[in-house]
Copies of this chain bind each other. A is one copy, B any other.
Amino acid sequence: MEFITGLKQQEEAELEDLLKAEEGTTIILEGAVHSIRDMGEIAFVILRKREGLIQTVWEEGKTDMELSEIREGDYIHVTGQIKDEERAPHGKEVRLSTIRHLSHVSCPLPLPIDKWKLNTSLEAKLDRRSLSLRNIRERARFRIQEGIVRGFRDFLYEQGFTEIHTPKIGAKSAEGGANMFRLSYFHRPAVLQQSPQLYKQMMVGVFDRVFETGPVFRAEKHNTRRHLNEYTSLDFEMGYIHSFLDICAMETGFLQYTMNLLEKEYSKELKLLNITLPDVEKIPYVRFDEAKRLVSEKYNRKIRNPFDLEPEEEELIGKYFKEEYNADFVFVTHYPSKKRPFYAMDDPEDTRYTLSFDLLYHGLEITTGGQRIHDLSMLEEKIQEKGMTEEGLEQYLDAFRFGMPPHGGLGIGLERLTMQLLGEDNVREACLFPRDMSRLEP
């Protein structure tokens, strides 16, 4: 009988092996032909690997394959000798002796992915997603995105949170309303979850602190630069809080942890994209009504509706706190009860407002969170007040019936946070395969 015993050392070098190896060493590499610069008797054949680009040099009479046989987009296996060369990326190049094809491209590439900046419209990039992301700056964005999710999870593991996986198909969803995708589930009406809200609250009674990173679905008829109809939500919920400010503190801790992680582990990508990380040492917080007043005064803007925040007002709040406090983020607290779902805890000092908050990053909402109601009768009252029915909420209410600690939590839109960190102005730039009102493919 034969056995698999785990990973074995591979013959082919990765970028880090190349960097460690000495001049003169023979090396085996595999990669995609990212670009070819033909100089006559020699040619630079740039290989693309997951960790970056490697300069290899084809030499007439020394390399065993004709240059004309290689095309941009081919995948090849090569051997060659390492030579120090300060003009090459990483200061090293590989003089090729042999080339063998792993696969052949079928046609010339329709996008210039080897350019530093892929000057292509967003639409064209999204239509050719499997090609446009081969540009090393385009793909670097999603490495940064990985770092954000990783930071979220690792920080919360450290803080005693348990990761959960909750169903996306359900009989009922957290927010209700018209913004739900509906489907038939074995002949029963079902919806896609707008948020794991009800599930994560139920799990606070079990694990005290929980988080989930997963897709959420919003059938919103908004076609803006800020909206996606399916996005990745970073959610947590925690028990035994004293105030909704404990949630803000946990989010600030996450941001601090994550910026550190990005700096340490994703510096290559930050450099490629020329990103300066935001300052998250301290984040100001301001009441909703106060924030409205501040920007209305400073920017001479009339308050049209005291209980609503328009996108332009959000932008101005961002501007205000950047100008006055050099702050990249600001917590806007005490949102009006009318604008918050039934599970939000009202401020006992003024029940027109809630103990909840949004986090704005450069004037864009990236998080909604707050303290939740943990008392059964208060919750039942609120459900009635909002004109809702308890139907379908029985098992959610059970959690409160059998005891719940004071708790709260939040949901962070991963693509929005990534977009703001990257300084992009369309959230689709921060999503591998965006879903919007007109885009269902690829």
The answer to whether the Cβ of A185 comes within 8 Å of any Cβ in the partner chain is yes
Contact with B along A203-239 (1 / 0, CB 8 A): 1011111000011010101000000011010000000
Are B170 and A181 interface neighbours, CB within 8 A? no
The answer to whether the Cβ of A271 comes within 8 Å of any Cβ in the partner chain is no
**A interface majority secondary structure:** mixed
Chain B residue with Cβ nearest A49: B208
**Chain B: minimal CB distance from A36 (Å):** 13
Contact with B along A338-373 (1 / 0, CB 8 A): 000000000000000000000000000000000000
Please give, as numbers and ranges, the residues of chain B lying within 8 Å of A250 by CB-CB distance: 7
Interface-central residue, A30, A164, A199, A206, by most chain B CB under 10 Å:
A206
Please give, as numbers and ranges, the residues of chain B lying within 8 Å of A203 by CB-CB distance: 130, 133, 432
The answer to whether the Cβ of A325 comes within 8 Å of any Cβ in the partner chain is yes
The answer to whether the Cβ of A405 comes within 8 Å of any Cβ in the partner chain is yes
Are B103 and A440 interface neighbours, CB within 8 A? no
Docked Cα-Cα span, A312 to B199, in Å, equals: 36
Given contacts A160-B14, A405-B75, contact A248 B376 (CB under 8 A): no
Question: Which of A37-45, A84-92, A277-285, A295-303 makes up part of the contact surface?
Answer: A277-285
Are A169 and B206 interface neighbours, CB within 8 A? no
Are A249 and B4 interface neighbours, CB within 8 A? yes
Count contacts on A: residues with CB < 8 A to the other chain: 124
Are A392 and B441 interface neighbours, CB within 8 A? yes
Of the candidates B75, B375, B376, the one whose C-beta lies within 8 Å of that of A404 is B75
Docked Cα-Cα span, A202 to B232, in Å, equals: 19
Given contacts A142-B162, A392-B441, contact A375 B103 (CB under 8 A): yes
Given contacts A167-B230, A398-B130, A440-B190, contact A105 B146 (CB under 8 A): no
The answer to whether the Cβ of A273 comes within 8 Å of any Cβ in the partner chain is no
Are A376 and B331 interface neighbours, CB within 8 A? no
A133-B203, A165-B414, A167-B230 are known contacts; what are 5 more A-B pairs with Cβ within 8 Å?
A: A2-B285, A5-B252, A169-B229, A188-B440, A395-B442
The 4 closest A-B pairs by CB, nearest first: A395-B442, A130-B399, A50-B208, A73-B403
